Structure 1
Amino acid sequence: MTEQKRANPAPLGLSGFALTTLVLSTYNAGLLSSGVNAVLGLAAFYGGLAQLLAGILEWRAGNTFGYVAFFTYGAFWEWFFLTSLGIYGGVTAVGIGYVLVAFGIFTFVMWLGTFKSNMGLFATFLLLWITFFLLGIGAMTGNEGAFHAGGYVGILTAIAAWYTGLAQVVAEALGAKAPLGRAPMS
């Protein structure tokens, strides 16, 4: 018996993360000011649910890094969605800032795990931990410049994640190797 080929869940998780991050980051950067609630549906379903599903599928495939990353960031988007709706009551900017910095610490450690993967993941996680720290510091201190800078770095993060995910989809469709480059220690 031959085993049936399974789809790679990483492009789904990366795409859900990227699109949701891009939309929110345009608001965080101050490029858009009205209609910020447009990101809520994305946070609940594409950034949240799709990444949770990708994480479960990575677990099933035996990819611990993908499982932890997608499930954690899927849970982050669900937290963002519920917090934005006020489900947890009056969460302060300082409290949100602490959560963002904590996610920055987590992401920094995950970034260390990309040193032998590929340049796409390396760049995505590098930019993401910087994004979280800038947004967290901006939220905790009320420094609008740091918060806007986090939004701009978030846009770059989204581009890197989208490239990493979609390069895999297009390469597989064309029967080619994804052009993701070598990470520093690979």
Structure 2
Amino acid sequence: MKMSTEKHDIEQIEQMSSVGDRLPASRRRAPSRIATSGPAGIFSFASTTFILSMFNVNARSVHTPNVVVGMALFTGGLLQFMAGMWAFPKGDVFGATAFSSYGCFWMSYATILIPASGIQAAYSDQQEFNNAVGIYLITWMMVTILFVLPVLRRNMSFVILLSILALAFALLAAGSFTGMANITKAGGIVGIIVAFIAYYIGVSEMLSAEARPVMRLPLGVMYVNDI
């Protein structure tokens, strides 16, 4: 009796698995044509990080970072947030969470720098404002460290990127807490390194998406899920 029941269950599973093949063409679900949003998210992150980091190292004697506001709002912010939203229907939980989170980070950071927001003006004591920014940056350092965990067995490039990004956040936070320009410059230097690693990953993912890429750039895949 038990063997008969198991045989019946197997037959039902086989019938259900073949239902899609018997459906008329008009009722079959077409394969997803949504392109990967990874390169768009990575390039927007890299470019905004590079510009702000150049300002942090006082390149060309620039000491005021407010020119990055537009970039942070629309490229690092809006475009990266959109990349995160498009990663959801692709089933990319990490990409969706990371891109949308860092997109919101850039938009929130830009808001701090906009005088009309009144955020900086609300602090009468400059050191109190610096401490508040330091706490803000430390929070994103912790978020970045947590993002390392899901990619530990997937991709060496992302592990390196996120680890160095966490260091950049830590240095910028320390610079904000202490008011020491050299620490902030060190954070800017690390940020530039982060940007170039991100550019490398973005180019690699774009090449991988091409049917006939001119070359391939390895990302250091460390683990492949068993099928």
Q: Same fold (TM over 0.5)?
A: yes
Q: Secondary structure at the match of 1:39?
A: helix
Match of 2:160 in 1: 123
Match of 2:24 in 1: none
Is the CA contact (8 Å cut-off) linking 1:48 and 1:75 kept in structure 2?
yes
| Cα deviation, residue 133, structure 1 | 0.5
**Residues 147-175 of structure 1, C-alpha deviations (whole Å, 9 max, x = no match):** 11110000011111111111111232253
**Quick one: which of 34, 39, 43 aligns to 1:11?**
39
Q: More displaced, 122-131 or 15-24? A: 122-131
Is the CA contact (8 Å cut-off) linking 1:29 and 1:149 kept in structure 2?
yes
**Which runs of 5 or more residues in structure 1 are unaligned?**
none
CA 1:38/1:89 → structure 2, altered by over 3 Å: closer, same or farther? closer
Letter aligned with residue 219 of structure 2: L
Letter aligned with residue 24 of structure 1: L
Give the paired residue count: 185
Equivalent positions of 1:86-105 (< 5 A) are 86=115, 87-90=117-120, 92-105=129-142
**Quick one: which of 33, 55, 66 aligns to 1:37?**
66
Rg (Cα) greater in structure: 2
**Quick one: which of 34, 55, 59 aligns to 2:84?**
55
User: Which structure carries more relative contact order (alpha carbon 8 Å, separation 6+)?
Assistant: 1
Match of 2:53 in 1: 25
- When the two chains are superposed, the root-mean-square deviation of aligned CA atoms in Å is 1.8
- The share of aligned pairs that are identical, in percent, is 31
Letter aligned with residue 57 of structure 2: A
Match of 1:166 in 2: 203
**Which runs of 5 or more residues in structure 2 are unaligned?**
1-27, 124-128
Match of 2:218 in 1: 179
- Is residue 110 from structure 1 mapped to residue 150 from structure 2 by the alignment? no
TM-score, normalising length: structure 2: 0.76
Is the CA contact (8 Å cut-off) linking 2:34 and 2:90 kept in structure 1?
no
**Residues 38-96 of structure 1, C-alpha deviations (whole Å, 9 max, x = no match):** 31111010100001101111122221111111111000100111110031422511111
| Cα deviation, residue 36, structure 1 | 3.1
- Is residue 148 from structure 1 mapped to residue 185 from structure 2 by the alignment? yes
**Residues 72-129 of structure 1, C-alpha deviations (whole Å, 9 max, x = no match):** 1000100111110031422511111110011001101111222112122111101110
**Residues 8-53 of structure 1, C-alpha deviations (whole Å, 9 max, x = no match):** 1011000000000000001112224337333111101010000110
Following TM superposition, the consecutive aligned residue runs of length 4 or more in structure 1 with deviations greater than 6 angstroms are none
**Quick one: which of 103, 107, 116 aligns to 1:74?**
103
Q: Secondary structure at the match of 2:191?
A: helix
Q: Secondary structure at the match of 1:37?
A: helix
Q: Secondary structure at the match of 1:60?
A: coil
Letter aligned with residue 79 of structure 2: A
TM-score, normalising length: structure 1: 0.91
Match of 1:132 in 2: 169
Is the CA contact (8 Å cut-off) linking 1:172 and 1:178 kept in structure 2?
no
Q: More displaced, 102-111 or 24-33? A: 24-33
